[in-house]
Structure 1
Amino acid sequence: MRRFLIGSAALSLAACSGSADGSRLDDDETLLSVSASGESDATPDTARFEAGVTSYAGNARAASDANAETVRDVIAALREAGVQESDIQTRALTVSQIEYGNRRGQYQASNIVAVRVRDVAKAGEAVTAATEAGANVVNGPSLSMGDPESAINSAYANAFRAARARADAYAEAAGMEVAQVLRIRDAGGWQGGRMIPQAVVETAADASAVPMPRPVSPPPPEEGAPFMAGTTTSSVSVQVDFALRPL
């Protein structure tokens, strides 16, 4: 799905024979600066979550051994659920003595792995497999796209098209036409909860074709419970300087 949003930022018209910033206006051209936004929706295709095991025992060796055994079960269950071995990565491995609470004097061993599921539809199954195998620390899943740049580029293309459409409307109303694109300034944006950094692109050509985990002990979800991927929106803004000339 493609959506076009035209921003409400200031527009400026100024007739001049040139500019200090090297905008390269000809004598009969007028500068038009347009701000616009663009959005693009894409369905996430990758799920990530953390699964871990926390074990307790009277000494460090016993806690570590018990933890390792359960973690092996969790990893085996994840692989049986279709998760590739290369998509399971150890994130934290600790053994420490507890100095407070009901378990004071005991030892705690923890092992947390990060898991990537390349088929979002199987994310719920993978989480269930991990918890049933003994994982008692789960964080996530979070959804993302394997190729986020594709959605971002689509949003930028939409933003530029929106800017060009507004420039054409202004030019028509003024009895002029768009002669060239002088400059494109990238204002960045957001993709889901991730910030898209700004970039700067300049051109003198017409660019109209520019394309700490939280400890929980969750029960396994009911069989057949839906896992909703939804869509992630990429939203960006640009400012484009156009040169207009009389018809």
Structure 2
Amino acid sequence: MQWVHGLLTTFVLILSVSASAAQTEGRLTVTGEGRVAAVPDMAVITMGATSQAETAQDAMAQTSDITAAILTRLTEFGIEPRDVQTSDLSLSPVWRNRGGNDGSPQIDGYQASNRVTARVRDLDRLGEILDAALSDGANRLGGLHFTLSDPDPLTDDARRLAVANARAKAELFAEAAGVELGALISLSEAGVAMPQPEMLGMARAADAGVPIAQGETELRASVTLVYEISTP
């Protein structure tokens, strides 16, 4: 009886070890990316004025006059106040002989600057707006980029594609490795990016002197998925 009991115990232990090996679990981490391209429907332009004069008052007055003309022009084009902002107002002396060896530095005048940033929602008039601002005295162009007024729907589409891409990778890796794909443990978003638009060609707004290339904007979403895996 003792021999039979020992054999039975050994058999149970073997079954227990085999069952434990069959249920060995691990984790599989995959990343996915989704991309959605769209034509921008809004532009953000930054422009301004810099003036130099003998006195600080004159330099600031000249810059203020140009800035006021730009703001008035933007209003005439139907750009709403919520889409316009001024920034970087500055006034500084202009030095003469600064760092030289022929005498102490002297103030040779003053320079004043101001900048205007505007969101343009009517892209058909963008070139015309820029041309008009230059005519009004703007002598600084700080930047021009295209974007989307409401990127949320397309961002969600990119996220869906990113999750589907990661899921497809997980299924492929599990099949190739000979393991079973289990439940999803975690999902995290690495981020959403909107790179600068690709310039597809030159387009000129009607009666405008500034050529504008609208191009496309691409939204990218990245996610990381972690799955349970087990040996069959």
Tell me, yes or no, if structure 1 residue 188 matches structure 2 residue 188.
no
Identity of aligned residues (%): 32
Tell me, yes or no, if structure 1 residue 87 matches structure 2 residue 83.
yes
Match of 1:241 in 2: 226
Give the one of 52, 56, 61 matched to 1:60: 56
Match of 1:163 in 2: 166
1:72-83 residue pairs with structure 2 within 5 A?
72-83=68-79
Return the letter of the residue paired with 2:183. Q
Return the letter of the residue paired with 2:222. S
Aligned counterparts of 2:122 and 2:219: Cα–Cα separation in 1 = 21
Answer 1 or 2: which has greater helix percent: 2
Match of 2:6 in 1: none
Return the letter of the residue paired with 1:79. T
Which secondary structure does the structure 2 equivalent of 1:230 belong to?
coil
1:120-139 residue pairs with structure 2 within 5 A?
120-139=123-142
1:105 deviates by 1.5
Instruction: Mark the CA change 1:240 to 1:67 in structure 2 (over 3 Å): closer, same or farther.
Output: closer
Tell me, yes or no, if structure 1 residue 49 matches structure 2 residue 34.
no
Match of 2:212 in 1: 227
Superposed CA deviations along residues 55-106 of structure 1, whole A, max 9, x for unmatched, are 22222222222222222211111221222222221112223321138x9622
Match of 1:39 in 2: 35
Aligned counterparts of 1:177 and 1:122: Cα–Cα separation in 2 = 58
Instruction: Mark the CA change 1:182 to 1:137 in structure 2 (over 3 Å): closer, same or farther.
Output: same
1:236 deviates by 3.3
When normalised by structure 1's length, the TM-score is 0.64
Return the letter of the residue paired with 2:191. G
Query: Could you tell me whether the CA contact under 8 Å between 1:81 and 1:129 is conserved in 2?
Result: no
Aligned counterparts of 2:138 and 2:111: Cα–Cα separation in 1 = 15
Query: Could you tell me whether the CA contact under 8 Å between 2:127 and 2:208 is conserved in 1?
Result: no
Aligned counterparts of 2:58 and 2:209: Cα–Cα separation in 1 = 38
1:92-111 residue pairs with structure 2 within 5 A?
92-100=88-96, 105-111=108-114
Aligned counterparts of 2:80 and 2:73: Cα–Cα separation in 1 = 11
1:244 deviates by 5.5
When normalised by structure 2's length, the TM-score is 0.68
Return the letter of the residue paired with 1:140. G
Instruction: Mark the CA change 1:68 to 1:157 in structure 2 (over 3 Å): closer, same or farther.
Output: same
Q: Gaps spanning 5+ residues in structure 1: where? A: 1-15, 18-26, 194-220
1:181 deviates by 1.6
Which secondary structure does the structure 1 equivalent of 2:138 belong to?
coil
Q: Tell me how many residue pairs correspond in the alignment.
A: 196
Aligned counterparts of 1:246 and 1:232: Cα–Cα separation in 2 = 44
1:177 deviates by 6.8
Query: Could you tell me whether the CA contact under 8 Å between 1:32 and 1:167 is conserved in 2?
Result: yes
Superposed CA deviations along residues 136-187 of structure 1, whole A, max 9, x for unmatched, are 1112211222233433332221011112233344566789875532222333
Instruction: Mark the CA change 1:167 to 1:59 in structure 2 (over 3 Å): closer, same or farther.
Output: closer
Aligned counterparts of 2:177 and 2:111: Cα–Cα separation in 1 = 75
Instruction: Mark the CA change 1:57 to 1:30 in structure 2 (over 3 Å): closer, same or farther.
Output: closer
Aligned counterparts of 1:64 and 1:170: Cα–Cα separation in 2 = 66
